Structure 1
Amino acid sequence: MDITDPTFAAVLISSCAIGVLCMFDELPSLSKIVSWIDIHTLVLLFCMMIIVSILSETGVFGYLAVLAYRLSKGRAWLLVGLLCLISVVLAGFLELVTILMIMVPVVIRLCECMSLRTTTVLICVAIFSNIGCALTPIGDPATVLIATNAHVMSKGVDFSTFIIHMFPGVVLSIFAAWAYIYLLLRTSLTHGAEEQTNNSLRILAKRMGEGRAPPMSMHMANPKFNSKKYSETTVFRIMAASNYIETLAMMESKYKVQDKPLLIKCAVSFSFAIVLWLLHSLPFFAGATLAWTALMASMLLLILYDSQDLTAVFMRLDWSMLLFFSALFVLIEACAELGLIHWLAELTINIIANVDPQYQVVTSIMVVLWMSTTFAAFIENVPIATMLLRLTIQVALSERINIPFLPMVWALTYAICFAGNGSLYSTTANVAASSIANQHGYKITFYEFFKYGFPVMIITNSIASVYLLIAHGIFHWH
Structure 2
Amino acid sequence: VSSFLDNVTTVILMTPVAIRLCEVMSLDPVPVLLGIIVQSNIGGSLTPIGDPISIIICSNHFFTKNGITFTKFVAHTLPGVILVTIQSCMHLRFVFRDPQSLRLNEPKEFKDLRREIKVWQRAANSLSSYSKDADLVRATLHKKVKLLKRTLRRKQRGLDSNDAYTHTLQELKLKYPIKHKMLLLQACAALTFVLVCFFVQSVPKWRTLPLGWLALLGVIALLIVLNRDDMEHLLHRIEWTTLLFFAAMFVMMECVERLGLFACIGELTKRIILFVDERHRLA
TM-score (norm 1): 0.42
8 A Cα contact 1:158 1:281, kept in partner: yes
Structure 1 residues 189 and 136: alpha-carbon distance in aligned structure 2, compared to 1, 3 A threshold = farther
In the alignment, the residues of structure 2 paired with residue 189 and residue 155 of structure 1 have an alpha-carbon distance, to the nearest angstrom, of 52
Change (3 A) 1:102 1:344: same
Verify the 8 A CA contact 1:93 1:139 in the aligned structure 2.
Answer: yes
Aligned match of 1:161: 72
- By how many angstroms is 1:281 displaced? 2.2
The change in CA–CA distance for 1:334 and 1:285 in structure 2 (over 3 A counts) is: closer
How many pairs align? Answer: 222
Cα drift, residue 329 of structure 1: 3.8
Which one of the candidate residues 90, 109, 119 is aligned to 2:20?
Answer: 109
Provide the alpha-carbon RMSD of the alignment.
3.0
Q: Does residue 273 of structure 1 match 2:184? A: no
- Taking a change above 3 Å as real, the CA distance of residues 281 and 301 of structure 1, as seen in their structure-2 partners, is same
**C-alpha separation in 2, matches of 1:153 and 1:338:** 20
Identify if the C-alpha distance between structure 1 residues 113 and 137 changes in structure 2 by more than 3 Å, giving closer, same or farther.
same
Say yes or no: does 1:181 pair with 2:92. Answer: yes
**2:13 counterpart of 1:92:** no
Match of 2:171 among 228, 247, 250: 250
Aligned with residue 248 of structure 2, among 311, 327, 333: 327
CA distance in 1, matches of 2:5, 2:76: 20
Conservation of the 8 A alpha-carbon contact between 1:93 and 1:138: yes
Provide the rounded CA distance (Å) in 2 between the counterparts of 1:241 and 1:301: 40
**Letter matched to residue 43 of structure 2:** G
Equivalent residue, structure 2, for 1:310: 231
> Is the 1:92–1:138 contact (alpha carbons within 8 Å) kept by the matching residues of 2?
yes
Q: Which residue, 181, 184, 193 being the options, matches 1:260?
A: 181
Per the alignment, do residues 159 and 291 of structure 1 end up closer, same or farther by CA in structure 2, a change over 3 Å counting?
same
**Cα displacement (A) at 1:278:** 1.1
- How far 1:109 moved relative to its partner? 2.2
Does the 8 A contact of 2:7 with 2:41 survive in 1?
A: no
Displacement after TM superposition at 1:279 (Å): 1.4
Q: % of aligned pairs identical?
A: 35
**How far has the Cα of 1:154 moved from its partner?**
1.7
Q: What's the CA shift for 1:317?
A: 2.1
Structure 1 SS opposite 2:71: helix
Instruction: Please identify, of 100-109 and 127-136, the stretch whose mean Cα deviation from structure 2 is larger.
Output: 100-109
CA distance in 1, matches of 2:171, 2:97: 28
Could you tell me which runs of 5 or more consecutive residues in structure 2 were left unpaired when the two chains were aligned.
107-160, 276-281
1:339/1:274 Cα in 2 relative to 1: closer, same or farther (>3 Å)? closer
- Equivalent residue of 1:139, what SS? coil
Which protein is bigger by CA-based radius of gyration? Answer: 2
Counterparts of 1:274 and 1:338, CA distance in 2: 35
Could you tell me how far 1:100 is from its partner in structure 2?
2.9
Residue of structure 2 equivalent to 1:34: none
Q: 1:183: how far off?
A: 1.2
Q: Is contact 2:5-2:44 (8 Å) kept?
A: no
Write the mapping of 1:387-398 to structure 2, written as runs, cut at 5 A: none
**Structure 1 regions of 5+ residues with no counterpart?**
1-89, 196-239, 355-366, 368-478
Question: What is the rounded CA distance, in whole Å, between the counterparts of 1:162 and 1:334 in structure 2?
Answer: 25
Aligned positions of 1:139-218 closer than 5 A: 139-187=50-98, 190-191=101-102, 193-194=104-105
Contact 1:92 1:133 in 2 (8 A): yes
Does residue 345 (structure 1) correspond to residue 256 (structure 2)? The answer is no
